[in-house]
Amino acid sequence: MRIATWNVNSITARLPRLLAWLESSGTDVLCLQEAKLAEEQFPYDELRAAGYEAAVNATGRWNGVAVVSRLGLEDVVKGLPGDPGYDGAEEPRAISATCGPVRVWSVYVPNGREVDHPHYAYKLQWFEALKAAVAGDAQGSRPFAVLGDYNVAPTDEDVFDVAAFEGLTHVTPAERAALAALREAGLSDVVPRPLKYDRPYTYWDYRQLAFPKNRGMRIDLVYANEPFTKAVTDAYVDREERKGKGASDHAPVVVDLDV
DNA sequence: ATGGCCACCTATGGTGGA
């Protein structure tokens, strides 16, 4: 089976490309982030016509996640148990479902904005809640993975220039420690192949020709338990999808599994 | 080729993204 994660930066803006990519890539299960619409506006009909069901957690213009599957969709759980909330409200940043032999989460980790911003503290708390929520499945015998936009570059090699991130979020020790805690809970980083250049970046800013210059970051991650990682036959970043007019600023990460 | 921000909102600039 082929499973992917992709921050689409608005389902509405991306729908033509999303439908075309699902077909051309042969993806069976897609964890998507930044739907940027309310659940009742989700294009269920268009996806159904293409052969996919969708489980959606989305409330409006910000955030929003979904699992899109043509291999079934069972035991859907919307939201993150123990979500600390931001500014008094829980945000739609997580959804989980079982798709055939695999259980997956689609997550959109809070950005953090700035290191001294309350959103950064929220980000770290959110990671704590995520670790607690997935610890059981991480130790289980069923293939399990948390896929999504983690908004953290795991190592200095995962940004185009570490000096450019001095004092910024996404590279701080505390954020990387949160990833390490997930690994200690039983999940491993399934690092994809880049299809060009030497680093498997997944995000390039829209501004300043970042994509043509390959000034990217690897922040879209697949954290998987041992039964899942043992089944991986290939993983790559589909950078072609970052090209051209109407692209998201993130490229899909695609994982092939022999299950 | 991959090209100089994008997307949203009961908008006409502010907010969020990273």
- The 3-state secondary structure of A163-183 reads HHHCCCCCCCHHHHHHHHHHH
**From the Cβ of A219, is strand B under 7 Å away?**
yes
Tell me: pLDDT of A88 over 90: no
The separation, in Å, between residue A222 CA and nucleotide B16 C1' comes to 24
Confidence at residue A53, expressed as pLDDT on a 0 to 100 scale? 97
Identify nearest nucleotide to residue A91 by CA to C1′ distance: B16
pLDDT value, residue A36: 94
Q: Which residue is nearest to nucleotide B8 (CA to C1')?
A: A61
Positions of strand B less than 7 angstroms from a protein CB? 1-9, 16-18
Q: For A247 and B14, how far is CA from C1' in angstroms?
A: 24
Distance, CA of A5 to chain centre: 5
A229 CA → B4 C1’, Å: 40
With 90 as the cut, is the pLDDT of residue A105 above it? yes
Say whether pTM exceeds 0.95. yes
- The answer to whether residue A87 scores a pLDDT higher than 90 is no
Which pLDDT value is given to residue A76? 98
* Residue with smallest Cα–C1' gap to B7: A10
Q: What region does A79 belong to: left with phi over 0, alpha with psi -120 to 50, or beta?
A: left
Burial of A113 per CB tally in 10 Å (0-12, 13-18, 19+) = middle
Say how far apart CA A212 and CA A109 lie, in whole Å: 27
Confidence of residue A110 (pLDDT cuts 50, 70, 90): very high
In tens, the pLDDT along A202-233 reads 999 999 999 999 999 999 999 999 999 999 99
- Assigned token pair, A251: 């490229």
Q: CA(A210)–C1'(B7) in Å?
A: 19
Sheet bearing A65-69, strands edge to edge: A53-57, A65-69, A29-33, A2-7, A253-257, A232-237
From first CA to last CA, the distance across chain A in angstroms is: 7
> Rounded to whole angstroms, how far apart are CA atoms A100 and A72?
6
User: What pLDDT is recorded for position A48?
Assistant: 96
Cα(A94)–Cα(A5) distance, integer angstroms: 13
Distance CA A132, CA A233 (A): 29
Q: Which nucleotide is nearest to A12 (CA to C1')?
A: B7
The mean predicted confidence, pLDDT, of chain A is: 96
The string of pLDDT tens digits covering residues A114-141 is: 999 999 999 999 999 999 999 999 999 9
With 90 as the cut, is the pLDDT of residue A236 above it?
yes
* CA→C1' distance for A57 and B8 (Å): 18
Among candidates A37, A187, A41, which has minimal Cα distance to A127? A187
Residue pLDDT, tens place only, A31-43:
999 999 999 999 9
Asked if A58 and A38 count as a contact pair (C-beta separation under 8 A), the reply is yes
Q: Tell if A10 CB is < 7 Å from nucleic strand B.
A: yes
Q: How many CB atoms lie within 10 A of CB A227?
A: 16
Using 50, 70 and 90 to split pLDDT, how confident is the model at A153?
very high
